[in-house]
Amino acid sequence: MRQIKRLLPRKTSRLTDAVFRDLVRTAYRTIPYYQRTWTRSGLKLAEISSVKDIHRLPLVTKDDLLARGHSDRLHQGKSAKRQVYRVTSGMTGANFIIFMSKLELAFRQFSLVYRMWHDAGYPYPMTLVQAGSWFPLESKISLNSRRMPIGRVIHISRRQPIAEQIRALDVANPTVLTGCPSMLEILVRALQQTPGVTIRPKLVVTRGEVLRPFTRTLLSKTFACPVTNYYSTEEIGLIAWQCPSTPSVMHVNRDTCLLEILDEGEEACAPGQEGDVVVTNLFNHTMPLLRYVLGDRSVLLPEAPSTCHCRPALQSIRAPFGRSEDFIQLSDGTRVSPRILDDLVHDASAAQGMDHPFFQSVRDYQVIQESPTNLRILYLTDHALPDFVSDQFQLGLRVVHPDLRCEVQSVSALIPEKSGKRKRIISHLGAACSPSIGTGEKQSACLDAE
């Protein structure tokens, strides 16, 4: 019965409290890491009676869980060889394996697919295509198709030549197309060079990366359909989804996780105050994650906006700004939000008009911080760089901070991460606890996330 409760969608507050209590007790009884750290902190299980007591639990980071190997974070009554798993490396490069049972994985997948089905208007049958899927290097297959009760799911490997990915996408004729924004951008650029192929899904769902305004516009124009963004991670699955009526707002998936926004003192941020995202997985008892610091930044909203017509009492956040590492750190310790850097790129384009030949040729860009005062702006294009682009950036940077300088370059290639994703903002200085610019607050708010 307890297992059924945690795998139920649409949990009431009372049921969520019961699931949370059971999760805490299971973690203490069966997970060596939690037994050790909670005992050391003086935590008493009797103090945990509802979600309101979650603040009593110590925070946990990826490094904490990696310190002693997966046996330290795995249910003692379960063998790792008999579990399914997902892998994420994040910014550290160290592989972090998330174990779960087949039933827990099925619930996680159901939560994600059902949301896509809902947002697409409940089409039947639905063909869901995951572009840029990961397949093992030794795998001999590059496309995987399987049936589900409402249609089928097709995974297209990112290891395929781009022309073959386009061909597979054309044959699949997706109802819903999903993938991380950078992978979908690559597909779009290839589609623009492939005559006779038109892909028209009902919905495009981006996830796994921050969706920038430039990318949203590009995807919407190319596929001629709505583009929605999900906040999902390998550790949890679907954390939140974009409000259909207010794109800047995301509703938290309280059926699968609990979400907190914390300041540098590990205290709950006030509504409207930016902080670090901390999550608790409600359905995974095989490898529980309780108060896990993701390293992402967001803002908890006091209430849903008046334009929102979703079901009431949904916890809402601003779309995450990016990971703590995505912020540019300045010489005086202040950090600049990636949103400000996106605005500078947009302003440089708008100053001369988006129809200028140079900006028509731009396929992507990256911002690289070489030192506290120097940035390198890379435009992925075969077009020569006009002088006005550098001048426009310098003007914008002086408004952000008088010490900032930049070098703007045209390049023929941007280097992605090992995961295949491509980071737009790269700082070689690391993420330190310091004030932030460009998020509506100026405050010190950073946790030791990774």
DSSP state at residue 29: H
29 dihedral zone (left: phi>0; alpha: psi -120 to 50; beta):
alpha
> Does any domain span residue 263?
yes
30-47 tens-digit pLDDT: 999 999 999 999 999 999
Phi, psi of 306 (to 5 degrees): -65, -25
The pTM for the full model equals 0.74
* Residue after which a domain boundary falls, among 100, 127, 157: 100
Closest-CA residue to 163 (of 204, 202, 195): 195
Dihedral sign, Cα of residue 240, residue 242, residue 248, residue 254: negative
E strands present in 234-320: 237-242, 249-252, 257-262, 274-281, 292-299, 316-318
In a shared domain, residues 378 and 343? yes
Q: What are phi and psi of 145, to 5 degrees?
A: -125, 135
Domain assignment of residue 8, yes or no? yes
Task: Assess contact for 291 and 275: CB atoms under 8 A.
Answer: no
Same domain, 90 and 136: no
178-192, 231-245, 264-278: which has the minimum mean pLDDT?
178-192
Q: Is the pLDDT of residue 370 over 90?
A: no
Return the half-sphere exposure (C-beta side, CA atoms, 13 A cut-off) of residue 264: 12
Q: Indicate whether 171 and 301 sit together in one domain.
A: yes
Question: For helices 32-41 and 13-30, what crossing angle results, to 10°?
Answer: 100
Higher pLDDT, 239 or 134: 239
**86: pLDDT strictly greater than 70:** yes
Reported as a single tens digit per residue, the pLDDT across 196-206 is: 889 999 999 99
| Confidence (pLDDT) at 328 | 74
- Inter-residue contact 23 to 48 (CB < 8 Å): no
Strand partners, 114: none
- Please give the pLDDT value at position 240: 95
Say what the pLDDT of residue 106 is: 92
Tell me, what's the pLDDT at 158?
79
Q: How many domains does the chain have?
A: 3
Residue 83 lies in a domain: yes
Share of the chain above pLDDT 70, in %: 80
The 10s digit of each residue's pLDDT in 318-353 is 888 766 555 677 777 666 756 566 667 766 765 665
Examine the domain organization and report whether 38 and 138 are in the same domain. no
Instruction: Please give the pLDDT value at position 4.
Output: 60
Specify the amino acid at residue 81. K
106 with 96, same domain? no
Is residue 448 situated within a structural domain? no
What is the pLDDT, as a whole number, of residue 75? Answer: 93
Q: Please tell me whether residues 166 and 230 are part of one structural domain.
A: yes
Report the chain's mean pLDDT, rounded to a whole number. 82
Q: Which of 262, 291, 320 is the last residue of a domain?
A: 320
Residue with the larger pLDDT of the pair 66 and 279:
279
**Predicted local confidence at residue 350, as pLDDT:** 59
β-strand pairing of 96-100 with 84-88: antiparallel
pLDDT tens digit string along 149-162?
A: 999 999 998 778 88
Same domain, 191 and 219: yes
CATH number for 336 = 3.30.300
Residues 215 and 333 in one domain: no
The reported pLDDT for the residue numbered 330 is: 76
pLDDT at residue 442, rounded to an integer: 29
- State whether 70 and 142 are in the same domain: no
pLDDT digits (tens, 9 = 90+) for 291-320: 999 888 899 998 766 777 776 667 899 888
Q: Are residues 353 and 216 in the same domain?
A: no
Give the domain-ending residue among 270, 287, 320.
320
Q: Is the pLDDT of residue 6 over 80?
A: no
Q: Residue 143 belongs to a domain with what CATH number?
A: 3.40.50.12780
Q: Does 2 score more than 60 pLDDT?
A: no
169 and 266 inside one domain = yes
* 437 in a structural domain: no
Host domain of residue 235: 102-320
Tell me if 395 is assigned to some domain.
yes
Q: How many CB atoms lie within 10 A of CB 140?
A: 6
Calculate mean pLDDT across residues 91-107: 78
pLDDT for the residue 417: 61
- Region 217-231: what's the mean pLDDT? 94
296, 167: one domain: yes
Q: pLDDT tens-digit profile of 390-443?
A: 888 888 888 778 888 889 999 888 766 655 556 777 877 754 433 334 433 322
Residue 277: partners with Cβ closer than 8 Å, 6 or more residues away: 259, 260, 261, 293, 294, 295, 296, 297, 298, 320
- Could you tell me if residue 446 is inside a domain? no
Task: Report if residue 444 sits inside a domain.
Answer: no
pLDDT of residue 325: 52
